[in-house]
Amino acid sequence: MKNTKTENTENKHTSGKLSDASTCSIYSFSTFQELVDKVPSDKIAECMAEMGQAFAQGKLLTELAIETARAQGKLLGELPERVITLPESFDWMDDGKGEVGVNLKVSKDSEESVRITTKMHS
C-alpha cells in the first residue's frame, strides 16, 4: 500500500473547484484511521461522501447483475456470503470534480470489468 500523499501536477483542469494553477492530491489508505491521518480535515467529509457513493454504486451494480443472471436462468444455487470484495487499499483523488468511479470485475480471476463513473450532486 502506498503510504504517502502524491501531488499530480499533470492533472490540472478548469472545471469543478480547482483552477488551472491547482494540482490534484491523491491520498492512499487502507483503513479509516489512515484516511483520517492522511486526508486534510476540511476534505474528510468530501472524501467519505465520494467513497460512500462508490460503495453504493458497486453494490447496486452487483445486485443488478445478480438479478439479471437469475432472470436469464444463468444463476444456479446460492450466492456466496460475500459477493463484493473490496480492494485492500483505496486512492482518493482530491480534484474537485466530484466524480466517482467504480470498477467491478466479472469474477475474481477475470480480466473483464465494468466501470461506472458518476458525477456527485452538490
Domain containing 103 equals: 5-119
> How many domains does one find in the chain?
1
Report which of 98, 102, 110 is spatially closest to residue 86, judged by C-alpha positions.
102
Report which of 77, 79, 91, 81 is spatially closest to residue 34, judged by C-alpha positions.
91
Render each residue's pLDDT in the chain as its tens digit; 122 residues: 343 444 433 333 333 344 344 678 999 999 999 999 999 999 999 999 999 998 898 888 888 888 888 888 887 677 777 777 888 899 999 998 888 888 777 666 777 777 778 787 65
Report which of 105, 109, 99 is spatially closest to residue 86, judged by C-alpha positions.
105
Residue 63 corresponds to which cell in the numbers above?
Answer: 445486485
pTM: 0.69
Q: For 17-112, where are the alpha helices, taking DSSP H only?
A: 32-38, 44-71
Residues 6+ apart with CB under 8 A from 120: 49, 50, 53, 98, 99, 100
The rounded distance, in Å, linking the Cα atoms of 65 and 71 is 10
Residue with cell 485492500: 88
